[in-house]
Amino acid sequence: MSNYFTNIFKVAQSIRIGMGITLSYFRRKETITTIQYPRELEMVADRHRGIHYLETEKCILCDMCSKACPVTCIDITGSRDGEFEGSFAGSKAWMSKFTIDYGECLACNLCIEVCPKDCIHMKPKHLLDTNPAGYEGSTGFDNVRYEYNFAAYRREDLVKNLLTDQCFTTDDLAYSQKAEGLIDELAAETKRKKAEAKAKRLAEKKAAEEAKKAEEAQAATEEKPAETSQASPKESPEKETPPADKPKADKSTEGDSKE
Query: Distance between CA 59 and CA 75 in Å, rounded?
Result: 14
| Domain residue extents for the chain | 53-179
pLDDT top residue among 132 and 232: 232
Percentage of the chain surpassing pLDDT 70?
A: 69
The predicted model scores a pTM of 0.60
Q: Which fold has domain 53-179?
A: Alpha-Beta Plaits (3.30.70)
Q: Is the peptide bond before 38 cis (omega within 30 degrees of 0)?
A: yes
Instruction: With beta carbons less than 8 A apart as the criterion, state whether 140 and 149 touch.
Output: no
* Residue 139 confidence (pLDDT): 36
Closest CA to 114 of 178, 37, 62, 39: 62
Query: Distance between CA 178 and CA 172 in Å, rounded?
Result: 10
Per-residue pLDDT reduced to its tens digit, 163-216 = 988 888 889 999 999 999 999 998 899 889 889 999 999 999 988 888 888 888
Q: What H or E segment, with its residue span, contains residue 96?
A: strand 94-101
Per-residue pLDDT reduced to its tens digit, 9-37 = 999 999 999 998 888 877 777 766 677 76
Give Cα 99 distance to the centre of its chain: 18
Query: Distance between CA 164 and CA 177 in Å, rounded?
Result: 17
Name the residue type at position 199: A
Helix (H, G, I), strand (E, B) or coil at 166: strand
Q: Identify the band that residue 74 occupies on the pLDDT scale cut at 50, 70 and 90.
A: very high
* Residue 257 confidence (pLDDT): 46
